[in-house]
Structure 1
Amino acid sequence: MSSEIDVHLGRRLRRRRRLLGLTQQQLATVCGVRFQQIQKYECAANRMSAARLWQLAEVLEVPVSYFYEGLSRAQVQEYVIQGEAGGEMFARKETRDLIQAYYQLGERPRRRLLDLAKSLNGETEG
């Protein structure tokens, strides 16, 4: 039986893998496991060891802390209530393409693009 933490870690893994445009098979090959193992991590059927988290963080080019970002008691409860609703936006190809293009820009153009998007949405900094 998986815990809320396992579910959170699996979602973060899936989100980052998709953002980088990797298939489960590609990630599994780099990690030296079968793609079914990646599937099990992502759906929280299997727990990830500390060593596996470290390896995945290196392959996915994120700090280990990435997997734990946003994990709080309140957010765990929200995940349970909302299920995958929050992840649907990131499942869309258009969103992934936009994020990939954004991170290919240098820091200054990224900041300008973010400011533009906020201004189009009517947000102001502050």
Structure 2
Amino acid sequence: MATATGITYLARYIGQVVGVAVSSSLLQAVLNVTLHRRITGPDAEKYIDQIRHVSTSIPSLPPSIQPLARSSYLDALRSVFILNAIVAGISFLSCLPLKEFPLPDTFKEEEERRRENENARLGRVEE
């Protein structure tokens, strides 16, 4: 039982790490593309680099750049949420055909069986 529990936790942690890595990669990829598409001009690369690496710097950007940065983040986050919804849906659908295998005995059933065996050994009859 301990081995199964350990494997379960390992699978969960691997899923968390992979999920965060894929989500972050998608966020940065979409953000990079949308920022390059929206922000042009002589200082575009400087602003894009600043936005991608320090998201809290958006309020300090020129007023004309701020809405472009926010909408780029919005598009990137939307892509991440769509990906996560698709993965969650696929995970749910893949669980539907799984059969449930109950554990052999619960503690209560085991205690009742022990009591019955003890009573049978001693010749008692339960009422």
| Common fold by TM > 0.5 | no
Bigger Rg, which one: 2
Higher helix share: 2
Q: What TM-score comes out, normalization by structure 1 length? A: 0.28
Q: What TM-score comes out, normalization by structure 2 length? A: 0.28
